[in-house]
Structure 1
Amino acid sequence: MANPVPLLTSQTSPVPDPDSIDYAEFGPINLVVIQPTSFCNLNCDYCYLPDRHLKNQLSLDLIEPIFKTLFTSRFMGQDFTVCWHAGEPLAVPISFYDQAMARIQEAERNYNTQPLRVMHSIQTNGTLINQAWCDCFIRHDMIVGVSIDGPAFIHDRHRQTRTGLGSHAATLRGIGLLQKNQIPFNVIAVISEDSLDYPDEIFNFFYDHGITAVGFNMEETEGVHQRSSLDQAGIQQRYRAFMQRFWELTTTKGAIQVREFESICSSVYTGIRLEHTDMNRPFVIVNFDHEGNFSTFDPELLGVSTERYGNFILGNVLQDSLESVCHSPKFWQIYRDMAAGVQLCQQNCEYFGVCGGGAGSNKYWEQGTLACTETNACRYRIQVVTDIVVNALEQSLGLQAE
């Protein structure tokens, strides 16, 4: 593994002259993450968010400045999705979204000159979904993502209420309401050590409950979650066996699309290779917290403080534009380390074409810097899955022995 490159600071590597900045290397904005509240009604033991016990809420007065900042930015150039996330978004009243959407529409009329389509998604633990929320999702054409880790005996080990009760029954009830109202949804399941021996049970749970779109997030060392249960000897082999069995089940039984498998298959079939990802190219993702502070790169970096970089907040919509923060030493320290890490991955890793240099949050929390290469997250999410999919496709085409 290559060693991290030296830290680049404003003293060792000055901020470029504004006229020399190549803004074509930034954006275009594809995803906007907005934190309606920092609070979550659950206390999942693997969560990275530091302030999920605090009932901070985004002021509606920040909606217009946020979207003015977006629509007037030179980094805006395509349709984009707004994801309401980074806390439990249903912990605020339905009226918040009704009023927010009205203000967004007004901002579109005033500032969306291109014009661009704004789509909305919401990532929820599902426990608070009722008919009124379903009506809200329909009214605002929201894409819904629900977090559920499979059957109750796995889910409830980690996703508990603040009084220590399991949340599985409430989440499943919410999913049932989405299905009753014919609201399309996908689920995210966190894979911990507790999941690894139960691929059949997890698959059958999704299959039996009509859940057809699944994304796997590995339990990560990140933010206030200081150690993943996957960070121990022998786990990678068990993880590989889990994913191998899940691949076999999805290809024989069908009905379920797994995000990780679909992504690798797409790369194989199209021949398209990545040079970066949305999470390591500036201003493809823009993140806003409940105070109007903003960052770019990984949403997981917003709201955390680190020894090496401090926090990752670049500015605030009440006083800064996306372009103005490109002149700050903090942005260039983060960006240059991020770019150096991507370059190291490109130089040292045969999986770079399907990875694009990885996510900075994984790199920082595992290695203490953005300017580094391989992580456990990369090995699990990219390398293991790529090997499984490519080997299976080669066998199906008769390109290798069974």
Structure 2
Amino acid sequence: MKNYSIMLKPASSLCDLRCRYCFYADVAARRSVRSFGMMQDSVLRRIMENIARSVAPGDHITLMFQGGEPMLAGLDFFRTLTEIADSWPSGISVSYALQTNAMHLDEAWCLFLKKHEFLVGVSHDLLAAQHNAARVDASGAPTMQRVERSISLLRKHDIAFNVLCTLTNPLARHPQQVWKRIVQLNLPYVQFTPCLGFLEQTEKSPWAITPERFASFYNGLFRLWLADLRAGRCRSIKLFDDVLGALAFGISGACGMGGRCHPQLVVEADGTVYPCDFYCLDEYALGSLAEMTIPQLLQQPAVTRFLSRSQTLPMRCSGCRWKEFCGGGCERMRRGVCCTADDTFCGYESFLEENQNELLALARSMQDNRSWIHGISPFRQDRA
């Protein structure tokens, strides 16, 4: 049995928000074609046909939808896709995950998402001041109230959802307030995605997380999370889940966590496939899933060219005792998020060092008895 994860961008880079820190808007602007528009029905059908040709009975496929804003493709697009998937031979199982800014959720969408058991990732930066400063609509208006109305709608329909929070430098100043908000909203699953600087940017973005702020945020959040855990209240914080899973069972719960890139299947609206959401650039295009099967795409020279990017580690890694565990982490995050430019500090190393005793004790507890951590199930969608 094989597991396949395929990320589809049915609305390309199109979005009705103008988030100040959007990495994909920056990536798309560096291509010869900024937006491929909406995925056409004929392209969708050829893509689904080639996915079916690539798998066998017993295989599992996870279809993830991101953007831009994937819901702009419209409900009929998703209905067509699920109808095609339902027609595949028995023995091929399919699950769905959707990341959304939550501006378009209504009763019709919720009925559809519930029927097909979608896991919904809602982009929400948790604190009103930070969310409304960064996540604005096309007119510059704040969006947090609309997001929280959509969360209420998801709860009304009992739809599985997680919050995907972009960890900006301003937000990371407030781990206590962030935790308080998580508790107030009773969020069982939260994933913080570090806010990256734009590609080839010479000056640091005010939104991009620094290694120092990364460390101080997670060190503060971990203490609050641990106190709740000891009181019998389990909440999933993606980084903590991933670190504990790796320490206890050698499970890598996030792309790049072990320091090695693995080619992804990111499918733009015209069918073009890229090996990573961070690098949907012309030079890394593998071909089209509307024209090729998955094995054919993964054999393209661009895959080797992309993977070669991840080999060089910062000098600080050479003397780090967590090197074998971390491997330098995600190539896109090594500089800026993890290590400072002068190699004098690593935010991830600081988090592991600061909390090693508690992390190792929890990992041993997980090895002995997993029941205490029942309910912690990381959301596997890694982009905010």
What runs of 5+ residues in structure 1 fail to find an aligned partner?
1-26, 305-309, 368-373, 398-402
Deviation of 1:66 after TM superposition, in Å, equals 1.8
Matched, 1:335 2:307: yes
Partner residue of 2:224? Answer: 249
Task: Report Cα offsets for 1:229-252 as digits up to 9, x if no partner.
Answer: 3668xx533432221221111122
Overall identity of the aligned pairs, in %? 18
- Is 2:169 aligned against 1:169? no
Residues 304-383 of structure 1: matches in 2 within 5 Å? 304=281, 310-325=282-297, 328-338=300-310, 340-341=311-312, 350-356=321-327, 358-362=329-333, 375=339, 382-383=348-349
Whether the aligned pair in 2 keeps the contact of 1:276 and 1:342 (CA below 8 Å) is: no
Of residues 92, 98, 101 in structure 1, which corresponds to 2:82?
A: 101
Q: 1:150-171 CA distances to partner (integer Å, 9 max, x unpaired)?
A: 1211111111111111110110
Greater CA drift, 322-331 or 59-68 = 322-331
- 1:32 is aligned to 2:6: yes
Give the letter for the 1:241 counterpart: S
Larger CA deviation: 56-65 vs 201-210:
56-65
1:69 correspondence with 2:50: yes
Letter in 2 for 1:359: C
Amino acid at match of 1:142: F
* Matching residue of 1:295: 274
Alpha-carbon shift at residue 348 of structure 1 (Å): 6.7
Please tell me whether residue 200 in structure 1 is matched to residue 181 in structure 2: no
User: Which residue of the partner structure matches residue 95 of structure 2?
Assistant: 119
Q: Is the 8 A contact 1:193 1:230 kept in 2?
A: yes
The change in CA–CA distance for 1:223 and 1:350 in structure 2 (over 3 A counts) is: same
Q: Which residue of 2 aligns with 1:392?
A: 358
* Partner Cα distance (2:253, 2:163) in 1: 25
Residue identity in the other structure for 1:229? P
The aligned amino acid for 1:383 is E
Task: Measure how far apart 1:319 and its partner are.
Answer: 3.1
For these two proteins, the number of residue pairs brought into alignment is 348
* Cα deviation, residue 73, structure 1: 3.1
Q: Once the 2 structures are TM-superposed, how far is the Cα of residue 78 of structure 1 from its aligned partner?
A: 4.1
Q: Confirm or deny that 1:47 pairs with 2:22.
A: yes
SS class of match (2:193): strand
TM-superposed CA distance for 1:81, in Å, is 1.3
TM-score by length of 1: 0.74
**8 A Cα contact 1:128 1:170, kept in partner:** no
Q: Aligned-pair distance for 1:96?
A: 1.4
* Cα drift, residue 356 of structure 1: 4.8
CA contact (8 A) 1:120 1:142 kept: yes
Report if the CA contact (8 A) 2:123-2:164 is conserved: yes
SS in 2 for 1:160: coil
Distance 2:266 2:140 in 1: 31
Q: Is the 8 A contact 1:287 1:295 kept in 2?
A: yes
Looking at structure 2, the residues matched to 315 and 289 of structure 1 have their Cα atoms a distance apart, in angstroms, of 11
Equivalent-residue separation in structure 1 for 2:44 and 2:317 (angstroms): 39
Q: Is 1:157 equivalent to 2:133 in the alignment?
A: yes
Paired residue type of 2:278 = E
Per-residue Cα deviation, 1:91-138 (whole angstroms, up to 9, x for no partner): 2221211111112223x23xx7xx332110000111221111111111
Q: Indicate conservation of the 8 Å contact 1:275/1:353, yes or no.
A: no
What is the TM-score with the length of structure 2 in the denominator?
Answer: 0.77
Q: 1:201 to 1:328 in 2, by over 3 A?
A: closer
Give 2:322's aligned amino acid. Y
Cα distance in 2 between the residues matched to 1:224 and 1:166: 29
1:174-185 pair list within 5 angstroms? 174-185=150-161
Contact 2:97 2:119 in 1 (8 A): yes
1:240 aligned residue (215, 225, 250): 215
Check the 8 A contact 2:60/2:94 in 1, yes or no: yes
Offset, 1:315: 0.3
Letter in 2 for 1:147: S
Query: C-alpha separation between the residues in 2 aligned to 1:149 and 1:380?
Result: 24
CA contact (8 A) 2:71 2:100 kept: yes
Shift of 1:328: 4.5
Structure 1 residues 73 and 395: alpha-carbon distance in aligned structure 2, compared to 1, 3 A threshold = closer
Flag the structure with larger Rg. Answer: 1
**2:94 & 2:265 partners in 1: Cα distance?**
14
C-alpha distance 99-271 of structure 1, shift in aligned 2 (>3 A): closer
Retained in 1: the 8 A contact 2:9–2:66? yes
105 and 28 in structure 1: CA distance in 2 versus 1, 3 angstrom threshold: same
Corresponding residue for 2:195? 219
Separation in structure 2 between the aligned mates of residue 139 and residue 225 of structure 1, nearest angstrom: 43
Indicate conservation of the 8 Å contact 1:273/1:353, yes or no: no
Report the residue type matching 1:103 in the other structure.
Answer: I
Structure 1 position 41, deviation (Å):
0.9
Gaps of 5+ in 2: 364-384
